[in-house]
A and B are shown apart, each in its own frame.
Chain A
Amino acid sequence: MKLSDSREIKADRATVWAALLNADVLKACVPGCQEMSGSPEEGFEATVVQKVGPVKATFKGVVTLSDMDAPNSVTLSGEGKGGAAGFAKGGADVRLEEIPGGTRLIYDVEAKVGGKLAQLGSRIIDGFAKKMADQFFERFQQEVEGPEAAAEVAAPAMAEAAPAAAAPAEEAAPAKKGFLKRMFGG
């Protein structure tokens, strides 16, 4: 299955880029992630627990980064083996564009599953993959912007009809609270 979407993050591109390559951020963002270790150069190893329809399994897998063009684009590819439950493979082409007040993160995700996951879960796999991607990038946004910012963003986003309030530049500031704080201990 394939899906494409984008998300606007109130942080500058370098910040978003750094977050994308950070194992701790990825751990916090991958839904069901129990462990994540490694580096952008050598790839990440991850353990993820997920339930797809009737199949619940612990996936052990690797995530590799390729086609890295800092801070513009990167391809993340992952493969997870869930033992008797089957396997899941996927990739995301991620691009970052500077926009007023932050960064637009654009992603094209492709995922496929095999074994019991495909046999029993194919009917729901598209929805599942979309939910996973949405959750990942939602959390990623929160991680980068920090919880307060995310909450602030949520309100105007809900009231979309409100007078086109171009995102004020100062709103980018709280973005550093979450991820950067932990990253740099600041």
Chain B
Amino acid sequence: MPKDSGIGASSKRREDVRFLTGVGNYTDDINMHGQTYAYFLRSEVAHGKINNLDIADASAMPGVLKIFTADDLTAAGGVPCGWQVTDRFGNPMQEPKHPILAEGKVRHVGDPIACVVAETLEQARDAAEAIELDIEELEAVIDMKAALNDGATKVHDDLDNNLCYDWGFVEENRDAVDEAIKNAHHVTTLELTNNRLVPNPMEPRVAIGDYSRGKDEYTLYTTSQNPHVIRLLMGAFVLSIPEHKLRVVAPDVGGGFGSKIYHYAEEAMVTFASKVVNRPVKWTCSRSEAFVSDAHGRDHVTKIELAMDENHMFTAVRTETYANMGAYLSTFAPSIPTWLHGTLMAGNYKTPLVYVNVKAVFTNTVPVDAYRGAGRPEATYQLERVVDKAARELGVDPAELRRKNFIKPEEFPYQTPVAVVYDTGNYHATLDKGLEMVDYANFDKRVAESKARGKLRGLGIAHFIEACGIAPSNLVGQLGARAGLYESATVRVNATGGLVVMTGSHSHGQGHETSFAQVVADMIGIDENMVEIVHGDTNNAPMGMGTYGSRSIAVGGSAMVRATEKIIAKAKKVASHLLEASEGDIELKDGAFSVAGTDKSITWGEVCLAAYVPHNYPLEDLEPGLEETAFYDPSNFTYPSGAYICEVEVDEETGKVDILGFTAADDFGNVINPMIVEGQVHGGVAQGIGQAMLENTVYDENGQLLTGSYMDYAMPRAADVPNFSVDHSCVTPCTHNPLGVKGCGEAGAIGSPPAVVNAVIDALHRGGHTHVEHIDMPVSPARVWAAINNK
């Protein structure tokens, strides 16, 4: 029986009441007294030298308060990068300066050059158009491999070349992997591209800077997934504002998918400007602007080799990847193709030797950083594609080849050859579950049915692993993170028994306000509606690291559990005093404290009241009040995994692919709210199908973004996705966090792209087009048709 409240219940998302009735409070809904408007003049060329920037006439335009250029920001720091990767020779990555406004050069279309602050947005835009700007266009560096050629134009003149780093992992295994591949019974090789994506959250970015002259304090309202991180980065590294003088508020946020993790130049600009003009300064990003200023995702070019012995057991994996960094290093960019990618290259398999080489490259394109999955989709895609190709080459069932090489359930905890230790998992169970859900045994009948209708049917399997719940601070510190990755929670109990939980996690669509409340209510045994979740304001929540990497319930939820445990411990002390019993005899059940073995009992509300109305209270032993804070730093990552199975039909005359069914059988560990988890998987799979079938970011050779609007950048629509079959009944609870949870936010976007492409290739092979070994995403009709017809 499904539960109707608490952990495991599909409680309805309470936040949806305001989201669905149009009364949410997004950053753009905030309008301040005396507000002014910022507009950024951005580069229209990908690479250029600014020969002249004259703001004199524009500054005299009606309504203009001030036009900022790099000259106004000499005291400010650049936009910082939060992760330093060390290359395979032991040297730090090349790290260029990332100015808030262009300093003499522009390096991508969209690079901000000047910021106009005016009374109205229209006046700001008019003035921006009147700025006299003379840019000498330079050769643009777009292709990653060409960017690394000797003598290639440099994106940053002060760097040695366009190589950010050349990373090897595990470097000590490099020779052993080469040897294993040389001596292998069979080696399957695949070259592929993980297409560049534009994140496209429903709500574009917005930032409002507000300086209070009376208190010499700044407030930044911004569309962020992690307000504390923005406060730290912007306060300490960019504007030199001490954290106690800077408040960052990220109210309702309409989706992020990674793109709202980073500290962006516009946030620093409006904060800085608000003091100069002594008025609030608001910037609202247009959709067109978002295409050229939000950090993009993916963009890897990879060659992967999988070596096998005569029993088809994997003996080694070797990969070489070119990863696009874009023109500057976004906040977490260097970590994505390395630590969030290389450490997953063992997949679900017992491959003993893995070597991952990544060359990160600067190009004259928008910076690239984490996008839903971040590194793990790139790892999963290449691995699950090459395993599929291997099965085809060997003439074996792809499900069987996977099963054979899976880590066995009894082998956990499992030390991979790529540093991480998987605590739990049962990949056989999820694969079997998925195959059962799609009726794998009868697939051939469906192939025949399709054939009768002149269509080619195919089935694609992918089995993913990801490392979520990021991250153990000690570990990531060793890997180059310039921050800790713990999470925080303060649980404040009010005198009348209601609770406010202030979490360092941030909800921008995930439903934390519902699922987090379920956990706390369940622990105490009270109604969920007595618990309110507060997040997104550095003045309320303790220092937290925000939401990304499927970390909220695993890390943020665990911090909340620890704080609630402290609350319960203290409440028991209060109860023991009120009940005149020994503290050790007090039991909490269903919201009441009782003395074990007696009928003496007192309610949760009475204890809370006593804590705040300490008339008869042991003040010498116990402080009044009931409020506790906890910080939780995980001891390991969590490792969700699952089987993703896609069934397609291909029209060989047109190359059109129809997705007939999509099935996901995940092991997320324990599940707090099954409905929310299902919704997260749906969203992730839709995004993965978007990448696999539709989305692609195209630059021309001059660095102009050709897919800069929804006319050319194809987002998945409802008609492009099938009904999903989702299951999360295969549960191996996480062993190292108190809830036994693993995280589910990114899984759908990680597991689905290889399943789609595997299905298309399967269909073509079944139709006799056996020369088609691979089609790069998106598998558009044109590409499928060309592959069939050898074009």
Q: Is A86 an interface residue (CB 8 A)?
A: yes
Residue in A86, A122, A123 with the greatest tally of chain B CB atoms within 10 Å: A122
Q: Is A167 an interface residue (CB 8 A)?
A: no
Contacting residue for A122 out of B45, B129, B706, CB 8 A: B706
Contact A122 B125 (CB under 8 A): no
CB contacts (< 8 Å) of B288 on chain A: these are 116, 119-120
Contacting residue for A118 out of B125, B128, B706, B711, CB 8 A: B706
Residues of chain B in range 431-452 having any CB-CB distance to chain A below 8 Å = none
Contact B44 A114 (CB under 8 A): yes
0/1 interface trace, chain B 705-727, chain A, CB 8 Å (1 if under): 11111011000000000000000
Contact B704 A122 (CB under 8 A): yes
The 10 closest A-B pairs by CB, nearest first: A119-B708, A115-B44, A118-B704, A122-B706, A114-B44, A83-B129, A120-B709, A123-B712, A84-B129, A86-B44
Cβ of A144 to closest chain B Cβ, rounded Å: 34
Q: Is A113 an interface residue (CB 8 A)?
A: yes
Residues of chain B in range 667-720 having any CB-CB distance to chain A below 8 Å = 700, 702, 704-709, 711-712
Cβ of A56 to closest chain B Cβ, rounded Å: 14
CB contacts (< 8 Å) of B291 on chain A: these are 119
CB contacts (< 8 Å) of A120 on chain B: these are 288, 708-709, 711
What number of A-B contacts does a CB cutoff of 8 Å give?
A: 47
Contact A122 B128 (CB under 8 A): no
Q: Is A177 an interface residue (CB 8 A)?
A: no
Secondary structure of the A contact surface, majority rule: helix
0/1 interface trace, chain A 46-69, chain B, CB 8 Å (1 if under): 000000000000000000000000
Given A114-B44, A116-B288, 13 further pairs, Cβ under 8 A: A84-B125, A84-B129, A114-B702, A116-B44, A118-B705, A118-B708, A119-B109, A119-B705, A119-B708, A120-B288, A120-B708, A122-B707, A123-B711
Q: Is B292 an interface residue (CB 8 A)?
A: yes
CA distance A29 to B439 in the complex (A): 67
Q: List 5 A-B contacts (CB under 8 A).
A: A83-B129, A114-B704, A115-B44, A116-B44, A118-B109
CB contacts (< 8 Å) of B129 on chain A: these are 83-84
CA distance A118 to B46 in the complex (A): 12
CB contacts (< 8 Å) of B711 on chain A: these are 120, 123
Q: Is A130 an interface residue (CB 8 A)?
A: no
CA distance A87 to B133 in the complex (A): 12
Closest A residue to B704 using CB positions:
A118
Residues of chain A in range 105-151 having any CB-CB distance to chain B below 8 Å = 112-116, 118-120, 122-123
A interface size (C-beta, 8 A): 14
Residues of chain B in range 100-152 having any CB-CB distance to chain A below 8 Å = 109, 125, 128-129
Residues of chain A in range 156-181 having any CB-CB distance to chain B below 8 Å = none
CA distance A45 to B627 in the complex (A): 73
Cβ of A107 to closest chain B Cβ, rounded Å: 22
CB contacts (< 8 Å) of A87 on chain B: these are 44
Closest A residue to B291 using CB positions:
A119
Given contacts A122-B704, A122-B706, contact A115 B712 (CB under 8 A): no
Cβ of A82 to closest chain B Cβ, rounded Å: 10
Cβ of B637 to closest chain A Cβ, rounded Å: 39
CB contacts (< 8 Å) of A113 on chain B: these are 704
Contact B44 A112 (CB under 8 A): no
CB contacts (< 8 Å) of B44 on chain A: these are 86-87, 114-116
Contact A112 B702 (CB under 8 A): yes
Residue in B44, B128, B706, B711 with the greatest tally of chain A CB atoms within 10 Å: B44
CA distance A122 to B709 in the complex (A): 10
CB contacts (< 8 Å) of B709 on chain A: these are 119-120
Contact A119 B292 (CB under 8 A): yes
CB contacts (< 8 Å) of B708 on chain A: these are 118-120, 122
CA distance A87 to B707 in the complex (A): 17
Closest A residue to B133 using CB positions:
A81
CA distance A84 to B129 in the complex (A): 6
0/1 interface trace, chain B 287-303, chain A, CB 8 Å (1 if under): 01001100000000000
Cβ of A45 to closest chain B Cβ, rounded Å: 16
Cβ of B41 to closest chain A Cβ, rounded Å: 9
Closest B residue to A53 using CB positions:
B711
Contact A122 B109 (CB under 8 A): no
CB contacts (< 8 Å) of A119 on chain B: these are 109, 288, 291-292, 704-706, 708-709
CA distance A20 to B704 in the complex (A): 32
Contact B109 A114 (CB under 8 A): yes
CA distance A113 to B708 in the complex (A): 13
Closest B residue to A87 using CB positions:
B44
CA distance A48 to B702 in the complex (A): 24
CA distance A3 to B8 in the complex (A): 64
Cβ of A127 to closest chain B Cβ, rounded Å: 14
Cβ of A83 to closest chain B Cβ, rounded Å: 4
Closest B residue to A119 using CB positions:
B708
CA distance A35 to B548 in the complex (A): 55
Contact B712 A114 (CB under 8 A): no
Closest A residue to B712 using CB positions:
A123
CB contacts (< 8 Å) of A83 on chain B: these are 129
CA distance A63 to B705 in the complex (A): 26
Cβ of A130 to closest chain B Cβ, rounded Å: 17
CB contacts (< 8 Å) of B706 on chain A: these are 118-119, 122-123
